[in-house]
Structure 1
Amino acid sequence: MAHAQAGEAPRTTPAPQSSARRPPTFRAVLRHRSCGRLLIASVIGRLALGTTPITLILAAQADGHSLAVAGLLAALYGIAPALGLPLLGRMADLRGLPLPCHLGAALVAVALGTLVLTGTSHLPLTAACVTLAGAGCPPLEGGLRSLWHTLLPDDAHIRTAYSLDSSSQEIVYVAGPAAAITIATWLSPAAALALAAVATLAGTLVFATARPARTWRPTHRPRSGSGALRPPAMRPLLMALVFLGATVGALDIAAVATAEHQHASWLAGAVPAVFSAAGLLGGVLFARFQPAAAPGRCLLLLGTVFAACWLPLLAPVPALATLALAVLPGALFVPLLTVAGLTVASLAPPGTSTEAVGWMTSAIRLGQAGGTALAGPLGGHFAVPLLAAALCALLLGARTAPAPAPAAA
């Protein structure tokens, strides 16, 4: 289980017998002190990650830029958190959660606020603001996962909490774009950007002022420039997560290409929506029936089956069948992400848990951007996410178990 932070002794106490037979539900996790507040606040604070890319495209087009330029701005925003999250996560592991959370939220608010006031006409200024808004994303996900270990009583509850958090991210990336499009259409793209800034500020403020976040203190971390990347198994795992992210990025383009090929425009949005909805269902089922296999073996098994689930999508089937087949990989995405998160936490050296989650998020976001960039020139075929999923599974075959802890003196 993950290395705990100060005041968060490693959870080695097994769950009660009843919990062993029936894993805790999402509701059981949220009943614990501050868990509901922290989860909801973190989701609101991360809402900009789902709303801003499409809003930037709409804003740039409204200001007269081409779709290519608008897409580049959205891609820049997608990549920028990969620069900032590990740094803010490391700051959290060194100084506590409030400082990097408030700093990140302030940077996002200033950057998006500037875009609201000036628009996107001046491209150098726009690119700088977009980069700052992405790189400044507060480390809410990493902070939340560090706090689970202080708030929950045993490993079973922590596994369910990780599944709950992974499932909630699907809400961000489904509800976020829909809300952004609605607001941009009814009001303006500037209004949607303003909402993203307000959501980031409000969610971060509620999260960082919660008592567990204010009192959480990191453990002593060994002096090492590599930080969370020090364990040998961490790098292949993060590379696997890059390819996992690439499957999602390539899926969006494949859905558009399939919609054009089948003359069913509705399919372009329906396929990613069904994929995400299936992910929510998969997360619920995974939490309900937690596998007894070791995380490393479970991770490899999920990765292999996830890759195999893309194969049926290669068949030339009708639009409704394509929609149904998208359920298969979608249902395994959140369980795979959950076990990957648990494995990253178990590999992270003491005092680096928030930074480790920052690297994990960065890897996935880089993969999403790369998958989107490559899928277009390759024709938007479902073979692209299949290949990415296969490479992910191959890399998951590398050693992902943490080194044995030294024997107590």
Structure 2
Amino acid sequence: MAQVQVRDVPRTTEAAGPAPKAPTPQTPARPVTALRTPPSFTAVLRHRYCGRLLIASVTGRMALGIVPVALILAAQRDGHSLATASVLAALYGVCPALGLPLLGRLADRRGLPLPCHLGAVLVTAALGALALAGTTSLPFTAVCVALAGAGCPPLEGGLRSLWPTVLPDAAHVRTAYTLDSSTQEIVYVAGPALAVVTATWLSPAAALALAAAATGAGSLVFATARPARAWRAAARRRDPLGVLRPPAMRLLLFALVFLGGTVGALDVASIAVAGRQDAAWLAGALPATFSAAGLLGGVLFARLQPATAPQPRHLLVLAALFAAGWLPLLAPLPAPVVLALAVLPGALFVPLLTVASLTVTALAPPGTSTEAVGWMSSAIRLGVAGGTALAGPLGGHFTLPLLAAALCALLLSAPTTSTVAPAAA
């Protein structure tokens, strides 16, 4: 961080005549971020375009929370088994892991509007076709689901690429990253709720149509904002590996797969624990409590985060605390106590995700910021799918999220990542 330097005033000798009056010495300016409290979420949203970009991004990503539930309900209504419906939902969950890095790379090379519009057209067309034709034909349904997943517009990566262009300093950018990570919890809490309400009041097809409309509207509002239209990535080298070239990046993404695994295993563990405790309400309340705690953790982290850019040790400490937060859940405890204990890992999830995002941005080669966030999203989504797939055969215990969190912390302790400091912005 640049320090203000005051040059010494040359002394004059008596032979040179009377000494001129020395200027009043000025106290060197201290770095602003070291003196003040980190900016709040409100301070970030007061800046022009920030509210529009954030709301549009969250709206455009709402389909990620709506579609899996709507697909299961639609498939069951059309006579398919729960197993078949779950496979369709899993297919939708995995496909963005393939599409987001590609659309992110396109954004870094051609700007944000083209991939955002292209992705929105694919998603709205695929989900619209499912809403109109139904899921009776499995091959047709699988193709539409794959297109809807792979076409997810790169709104998350685009938003994080735009924060430095619409905010005044690095401290605001770091708070914006925390705000963005916190609002992701809204997608996965409000999305399923909207799917269930819409399917109950209208139909599962209407829920799919709602997801299509949200993607189209959010992407359009985001991509037509002036910062999105004006943004261009820095010049980049022609490199087939691109973001994956730095070894530290590959190791970090591998660690994030295990971080996603904790979330995927939690959903299954919630159902299993609810069955063992004969408390059906716990199946929905446990993931909701985890997500609500994430929002609270994000707010607290925004106020208590370091005045300078997070260091690698912060990432490791948060990962270790996140892993330790799962330990109390291994004990045979009453359902209300289990619910209360889920607050600790939930509250640590968003700060850990925020510092990981800053580290990914710092490790990304010049001109690859949007693609880098795409790879990060892909790693987490693959982990979610893997955690969900493994949790069932392993009995749905909290051992799997604990193991995944511990492996994440272990990978982050490797010298390759622990020696890389995140950039300030």
TM-score, normalisation: structure 2: 0.90
Give the whole-Å Cα distance in 2 for the aligned partners of 1:190 and 1:37. 29
Q: Percent identity?
A: 75
Q: How far, CA to CA, are the matches of 2:168 and 2:290 in structure 1? A: 32
Q: In the TM superposition, what is the alpha-carbon distance from 1:83 to its structure 2 partner? A: 0.5
Alignment CA distance shift 1:382-1:226 (3 Å)? same
Candidates 366, 369, 377, aligned match of 1:350? 366
Question: What is the aligned partner in structure 1 of residue 251 from structure 2?
Answer: 236
The answer on 1:166 being equivalent to 2:184 is no
Per the alignment, residue 78 of structure 2 pairs with: 63
Farther off after superposition, 227-236 or 275-284: 227-236
Of 384, 393, 406 in structure 1, the residue corresponding to residue 400 of structure 2 is 384
2:143 alignment partner in structure 1: 128
AA aligned opposite 2:333? V
Q: Distance in 2 between matches of 1:281 and 1:20?
A: 25
Measure the CA separation in 2 of the matches of 1:184 and 1:347. Answer: 43
The equivalences for 1:311-326 within 5 A come to 311-326=327-342
Q: Determine the C-alpha separation between the residues in 2 that align with 1:28 and 1:298.
A: 24
Larger radius of gyration: 2
Q: C-alpha offsets along residues 25-76 of structure 1, whole Å, 9 cap, x if unaligned? A: 0011111120010000000000000100011000000001000000000000
Q: Determine if contact 1:343/1:400 at 8 Å carries over to the other structure.
A: no
Contact 1:102 1:205 in 2 (8 A): yes
Which of 95, 98, 107 lines up with 1:83 in the alignment? Answer: 98
Cα deviation code 1:125-167 (max 9, x no counterpart): 1011000000000000000000001111111111100000000
- Structure-2 separation of matches of 1:402 and 1:141: 27
- What's 1:10 paired with? none
1:100-127 Cα distance to aligned partner (Å, 9 max, x none):
0000000001100110111111001101
**Distance of 1:226 and 1:31 partners within structure 2:** 38
Residue 114 of structure 1 aligns to a residue whose secondary structure is: helix
Quick one: which amino acid aligns to residue 85 of structure 2? A
Could you list the runs of 5+ residues in structure 1 that have no partner in the other structure?
A: 2-13
3-state SS of 1:222 partner: coil
Once the two structures are superposed, the pairs formed by residues 117-266 of structure 1 within 5 Å of their partners are: 117-266=132-281
Q: Secondary structure at the match of 1:233?
A: helix
Equivalent of residue 412 in structure 2, options 392, 396, 406: 396
In structure 1, C-alpha distance between the alignment counterparts of 2:297 and 2:421, rounded to whole Å: 31
With over 3 angstroms needed to count, the CA separation of the structure-2 counterparts of 1:404 and 1:68, relative to structure 1, is closer
Q: CA deviation at 1:404?
A: 8.9
Preserved CA contact (<8 Å) 1:19 1:156: no
Give the match for residue 298 of structure 1: 314
CA-CA distance at 1:230 after TM superposition: 1.0
Contact 1:343 1:401 in 2 (8 A): no
Aligned counterparts of 1:219 and 1:24: Cα–Cα separation in 2: 27
C-alpha displacement of 1:392: 0.5
Q: Is the 8 A contact 1:112 1:193 kept in 2?
A: yes
Structure 1 CA distance for aligned equivalents of residues 167 and 418 of structure 2:
23
- Structure 1 residue 17, shift from structure 2 partner: 3.3
**Could you tell me whether the CA contact under 8 Å between 1:119 and 1:190 is conserved in 2?**
yes
For residues 202 and 320 of structure 2, what CA distance do their matches in structure 1 show?
45
CA contact (8 A) 2:313 2:418 kept: no
Summarize the Cα distance change of 1:203–1:395 in structure 2 as closer, same or farther, 3 Å threshold: same
- Hey, what's the Cα distance between the residues in 2 that align with 1:121 and 1:277? 36
Deviation at 1:15, TM superposition (A): 9.1
Mapped partners of 2:278, 2:228: distance in 1:
50
Per-residue deviation, 1:314: 0.2
Deviation at 1:341, TM superposition (A): 0.2
- RMSD (Å) for aligned C-alpha atoms: 1.6
In structure 2, what residue type is equivalent to 1:370? G
Residues 404, 141 of structure 1: alpha-carbon distance in 2 compared, 3 angstrom cutoff: closer
After superposition, the Cα gap between the structure-2 partners of 1:402 and 1:39, relative to the gap in structure 1 and judged at 3 Å, is farther
Which deviates more from structure 2 when the two are superposed, residues 112-121 or residues 98-107?
Answer: 112-121
For the Cα contact (< 8 Å) 2:182–2:295, is it kept in 1?
yes
Contact kept? 2:312, 2:419, Cα under 8 Å? no
Structure 1 residue 224: deviation in Å?
0.4
Taking structure 1 as reference, are residues 18 and 403 closer, same or farther at Cα in structure 2, changes over 3 Å only?
closer
Contact 1:15 1:156 in 2 (8 A): no
Q: Is the deviation greater in 396-405 or in 332-341?
A: 396-405
How many residue pairs get aligned? The number is 393
Length-normalised TM-score, structure 1: 0.94
Bigger relative contact order, structure 1 or 2 (CA pairs below 8 A, ≥6 apart): 1
What stretches of structure 2 of length at least 5 have no aligned partner?
2-28
The answer to whether the Cα contact below 8 Å between 1:103 and 1:138 also exists between their aligned partners in 2 is yes
Q: Deviations over 1:68-107 (max 9, x none)?
A: 0000000000000000000000000000000000000000
